C-alpha cells in the first residue's frame, strides 16, 4: 500500500507529551461512552472502526461489549500506530486491525455499526470516505460520526477578542494532528445529508468557554470539567466537538 502522505509522521501528536492530550482523551472517552450507550440499545454485535487514534475508543468498545461483541474490525493507515497499539494493548480475539486506507477498504461483510469519530477532519476527501464506507453498514445499522467544531464557544469568544482572525483557520496543533479542515454544525449537517445519511441525533461534546491554557490556570474542580461535558450535550452548535448518530 503506497501513499504520498506519511501517516506515521503524526503519531507523536497522539502521545502524553502533546499539549492537548488530556483534553483529547476526555473528549474521546465521552464520545465513545455516548456511542456505546446507543449501541447497547441497538444490541450491536459487529463494529467497523475507522482508525485507532488514541486507542481509547477501541478499548472502550471492547470493555463495554466484552461478552456480546462478536466482531470488531479496525482500519488503520499508519503501520507504526498499529504496531504501537499491539505492543501496548492486548486486544481481545474479536478485534482485528487491518492496515488499509479507508477509501481502499473492501469486504463482503456488513456491520451493525460503523464509527468514524474524529476522522473526517483528517482525510483528503471526507465525502469519498463516507460514501465508500457506508456500503458496509447493515440496512438496520447506524453510523457514528464526530468532528471538532470551528465555532466552539472558546473560538467565538477568541474571535470577538481579536485573538482568532478566522474560525476555520488550522492552528499549529491542528496540523501536528494531521487535521485538514474544520466543520461547524451547519456544514457538518449538510455534509451528512449530502452523503445520503439520515441524522438521528446530534449532540455537543465539551462546552469549552476559553482556551485550554486558560482553563488550566483556573485549576477547576474535576466535577466542573465533567459538567462541561454533560452540559455540552445540548449545545452542539457551540461545543468544542460535534457528535452525530446516523443511518443510511
Q: Which helix (H) or strand (E) holds 18?
A: none
- DSSP of 86-154: HHH----TTEEEEE--GGG---S--EEEEEEET-TTTSS-HHHHHHHHGGGEEEEEEEEEEEEBTT-HH
7-247: CATH topology is: Rossmann fold (3.40.50)
Residues above pLDDT 90, as percent of the chain? 72
pLDDT digits (tens, 9 = 90+) for 177-189: 889 999 999 999 9
pLDDT at residue 66 in the model: 75
Entry pTM: 0.92
pLDDT at residue 135 in the model: 98
Which residue's entry shows cell 456488513? 110
Domain boundaries, the chain: 7-247
Predicted confidence band at 37 (pLDDT cuts at 50, 70, 90)?
Answer: very high
Task: Report d(CA 173, CA 189) in Å as an integer.
Answer: 25
Residues above pLDDT 70, as percent of the chain? 92
Task: Report d(CA 5, CA 71) in Å as an integer.
Answer: 30
pLDDT at residue 15 in the model: 56
pLDDT at residue 5 in the model: 54
pLDDT reading at 28 higher than 90: yes
The mean pLDDT value of the chain amounts to 91
Task: Report d(CA 80, CA 85) in Å as an integer.
Answer: 8
pLDDT digits (tens, 9 = 90+) for 147-169: 999 999 999 999 999 999 999 99
pLDDT at residue 4 in the model: 44
Assess contact for 111 and 140: CB atoms under 8 A: no
Amino acid at each position: 500500500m503506497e501513499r504520498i502522505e506519511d501517516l506515521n509522521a503524526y503519531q507523536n501528536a497522539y502521545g502524553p507529551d502533546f499539549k492537548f492530550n488530556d483534553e483529547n482523551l476526555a473528549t474521546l472517552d465521552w464520545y465513545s461512552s455516548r456511542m456505546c450507550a446507543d449501541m447497547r440499545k441497538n444490541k450491536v454485535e459487529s463494529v467497523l472502526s475507522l482508525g485507532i487514534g488514541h486507542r481509547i475508543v477501541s478499548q472502550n468498545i471492547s470493555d463495554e461489549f466484552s461478552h456480546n461483541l462478536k466482531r470488531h474490525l479496525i482500519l488503520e493507515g499508519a503501520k507504526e500506530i498499529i504496531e504501537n497499539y499491539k505492543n501496548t494493548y492486548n486486544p481481545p480475539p474479536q478485534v482485528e486491525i487491518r492496515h488499509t486506507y479507508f477509501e481502499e477498504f473492501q469486504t463482503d461483510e456488513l456491520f451493525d455499526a460503523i464509527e468514524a469519530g474524529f476522522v473526517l477532519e483528517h482525510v483528503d476527501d471526507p465525502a469519498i470516505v463516507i460514501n465508500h464506507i457506508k456500503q458496509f453498514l447493515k440496512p438496520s445499522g447506524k453510523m457514528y460520526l464526530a468532528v471538532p467544531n470551528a465555532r466552539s464557544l472558546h473560538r467565538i469568544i477568541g474571535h470577538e477578542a481579536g485573538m482568532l482572525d478566522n474560525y476555520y483557520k488550522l492552528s499549529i496543533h491542528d496540523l501536528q494532528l494531521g487535521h485538514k479542515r474544520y466543520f461547524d454544525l451547519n456544514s457538518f449537517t449538510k455534509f451528512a445529508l449530502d452523503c445520503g445519511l439520515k441524522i438521528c441525533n446530534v449532540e455537543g461534546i465539551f462546552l469549552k468557554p476559553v482556551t485550554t491554557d486558560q482553563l488550566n490556570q483556573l485549576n477547576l474542580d474535576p466535577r466542573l470539567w465533567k459538567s462541561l461535558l454533560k452540559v455540552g450535550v445540548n449545545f452542539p452548535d457551540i461545543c468544542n466537538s460535534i457528535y452525530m448518530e446516523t443511518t443510511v
